[in-house]
Chains A and B, each alone.
Chain A
């Protein structure tokens, strides 16, 4: 079908590429087959084999002539142009003049257009997306620098088509970054996008009005990026080591590789720490054959002084872009950071200083352009509409269960509409009705939460406690209307309550209730544990009394008296207001242990009955007894049954 399937957003970068897609209303960056969120924009040819991404990068040094990196620099460009001639100096493969004087890449005596090379990169993005989504992908939004001219944009579109993608739109990278932060929804604004990636720096000034982006100016430095920052650190390490030992590690490729890795790692660590240790033992051998060790401390301050000129260099193009747009820094309403190097605190500080405002940096700067492309893709594909974004419940919904405890059904921050059900049972033998007290809040005890309404389900056929199955369903629709239904599975009887405005709380109320719950969390937990222990104790007392009545004569006098004593002690303890969890649990376990002989007698009786074909079953011996059904708690049998809802804006079926 022509217009089916998801549209993916692709950031086709000079150094790295990424792909994202809208899912459930949010953009999701698609991991590559190698499990990372970005992959190098590198294509390697070996005979008929073509490798793209990380694997291509790993063999680049071995096959420089047949490994193509930074092909974006040649897209839609004439071979003899100054830009191309300059870029050729930075690549190891051959770039020659092709059809119509356009730059083409020569690999093993075969010419490839930059479009064909880029198509391989886009092909990998497509394949990774298909693997992730489990469906074919044929449509994409691809981003390009804002300064790309018509020829370059056309070439990018062609690359997409070669890769088997219908390019629904070509979007400017700074625009995509602004979309990722939802800046299109902020009305009219002037936005500066500061993009410092691995190998290039771009500054773009955009204006947005009535949902339409306009590029006011662009500028940049095509050979300024994170790699240059790494080089500064490497140079420093080499010079310091030479000062200390007289040894020049630049001549030792193995040592140099270790230092490169250590330099990048140190740079990353210094984005969160004030200093880092660079330790590389046995880095080389001295003239006398003795091992040489590299050990240095690099502080953030030192790093900042090493790279200061690079950061300042980026503001040359920034100032020019502002001049071209005829704007002052104070005219900028929003600043967006793109590219991994913008993680550096000093970079962020300088950007903030220049523009006089905090830049947006919440979205991963390596992924922000892909995320924005996905947002655009979503709008085109109809995934993102101007209507509703799903709401969440601010507080937990639950009901009151045995002992005055609150059992949660729908946790707070659950996306609505939603429905959740759970099976409950009765607390006493022959209990024919249950009361449902619908609660909202974060506290463990029912009384500490807000009661939204109560109702009673009656007509439950008489049965031993824990046997009836009462299904309670909490259903919240997208308007926040809560319907609570209780249904007895045996009789089929049901009762329902509808609560309007269940999510209609002020922000202050919500925060207050959450803070309250946090303050009392420990206390509430203890209270709940005591009640659960009491419930268990009461259950065991009940069971033991029953078993003593039925099988007490099958054990000797001493044993029976011992069990009765324990049961009596446990019963009294369960009724004490100040009983502790530990005492209750201990007494319960002691009672169960002492009743083991009774259990044996029960089993013998059961076997005899089975053998005789009577087939009468008794409850399981020595059972813990507290929970009759999985995940169930018991609902209270209210002494004053009213049979009608008590409060709240309720409507009863």
Chain B
């Protein structure tokens, strides 16, 4: 009876071993990559959680901001009217409006005479001045600034002495 030899030629076995070794290496690399991806995803998630929380606090703080911002223009116009018309009734209306807005956390920033500060003000023009003390100071307020709960929502527009 013929017997089939079961011994494989040595070179084929060596190649097979190399293939396995290569596959193992590839799989190990894939595993490392996948673990890294997973860690990154978790890190992104944690960062998102943290930022969501911060944003939520910020939203609470600035809740109602768009309503208040919409009221600033007519409020400023009322202020101009009060200044020009000099009517006691109009003064009363203005005060009431101001109080109502202040109750919502609004603060009027009127920087007349103050040192110019770009964090709260925007220069719209400059005016020459002979008084040295007035250089760099706010000579005119074109539009007052506003803060809501401590955060600037509108920068005052000013004319500064030079």
Contact = CB atoms under 8 A, between A and B. Distances in A.
A389 to B, nearest CB: 13
Interface string A33-76: 00000000000100000010001111111100000000000000
A134 B124 contact: no
A273 interface: no
B55 to A, nearest CB: 9
A359 B12 CA distance: 60
A279 B143 CA distance: 15
Interface in B108-124: 116, 118-119, 121-124
Interface stretch (A252-260, A313-321, A338-346): A252-260
Nearest to B58: A35
Interface stretch (B2-10, B18-26, B46-54, B94-102): B46-54
B39 to A, nearest CB: 12
A59 B41 contact: no
A24 B85 CA distance: 59
Contacts of B159: 253-254
A148 interface: no
Given A253-B159, A281-B81, A61 B125 contact: yes
B144 interface: no
Interface residues of B, number: 31
A24 B125 contact: no
A59 B84 CA distance: 29
A56 B160 CA distance: 15
A615 B119 CA distance: 67
A133 B43 CA distance: 10
Nearest to B82: A282
Contacts of B143: 257-258
Contact of B157 (A44, A59, A257): A257
A548 to B, nearest CB: 48
A132 interface: yes
B45 interface: yes
A7 B124 CA distance: 38
Interface in A403-421: none
A61 B123 contact: yes
B118 A59 contact: yes
Contacts of A56: 118
Interface string B75-110: 001001101110000000000000000000000000
B77 A282 contact: yes
Contacts of A23: 44, 47-48
A156 to B, nearest CB: 27
A60 to B, nearest CB: 7
A58 B84 contact: no
A253 B123 contact: no
Output the residue of A51, A60, A62, A254 with the most chain B CB within 10 A: A62
A257 B143 CA distance: 9
B116 A59 contact: yes
B147 interface: no
A24 B45 contact: yes
A339 B37 CA distance: 35
A648 interface: no
Contacts of A258: 142-143
Interface string A244-263: 00000000011001100000
A291 interface: yes
Given A24-B45, A62-B162, A282 B80 contact: yes
Nearest to A46: B118
A60 B48 CA distance: 37
Contact of B123 (A62, A285, A291): A62
Give the bracket for the number of chain A residues in contact with chain B. Answer: 20 to 34
Contacts of A134: 47, 50
A262 to B, nearest CB: 9
A58 B123 contact: yes
Chain A interface, DSSP helix/strand/loop, else mixed: mixed
Contacts of B116: 59, 62
Contacts of B121: 58
A51 B117 CA distance: 12
A37 to B, nearest CB: 14
A253 B160 CA distance: 12
Interface in B127-153: 140, 142-143
Chain B interface, DSSP helix/strand/loop, else mixed: mixed
Contact of B47 (A57, A62, A133, A257): A133
A253 B124 contact: yes
Contact of A253 (B80, B125, B155): B125
A383 to B, nearest CB: 8
B159 to A, nearest CB: 7
B41 A24 contact: yes
B16 to A, nearest CB: 30
Contact of B44 (A24, A59, A280): A24
Nearest to A390: B41
A282 B124 CA distance: 19
Nearest to B78: A281
A282 B162 contact: no
Contacts of A285: 84
A257 B51 contact: no
B140 A58 contact: no
B47 A291 contact: no
Contacts of B126: 61-62
Nearest to B155: A58
Interface string A361-391: 0000000000000000000000100000000
Interface string A448-470: 00000000000000000000000
A59 B126 CA distance: 10
A60 B122 CA distance: 9
Contacts of B41: 24
Contacts of A58: 118, 121-123, 155
A383 B77 CA distance: 52
A56 B83 CA distance: 32
B124 A61 contact: yes
B124 A281 contact: no
Contacts of A51: 118
Contacts of A44: 118
Contacts of A55: 118-119
Contacts of A62: 116, 123, 126, 160, 162
A279 B116 CA distance: 29
A280 B81 CA distance: 11
Nearest to A289: B84
A196 B44 CA distance: 34
Nearest to B44: A24
Nearest to B124: A257
B84 A282 contact: yes
Contacts of B119: 55
Nearest to A291: B84
Nearest to B121: A58
A133 B44 CA distance: 9
A202 B138 CA distance: 40
Interface of B: 40-41, 44-45, 47-48, 50-51, 77, 80-81, 83-85, 116, 118-119, 121-126, 140, 142-143, 155, 157, 159-160, 162
11 contacts: A44-B118, A58-B121, A61-B126, A62-B123, A62-B126, A132-B51, A253-B159, A257-B142, A257-B143, A257-B157, A282-B81
Given A24-B45, A285-B84, 4 more contacts: A61-B123, A132-B51, A134-B50, A254-B140
> Which 3 pairs between the two chains have the least Cβ-Cβ distance?
A282-B80, A58-B122, A253-B125
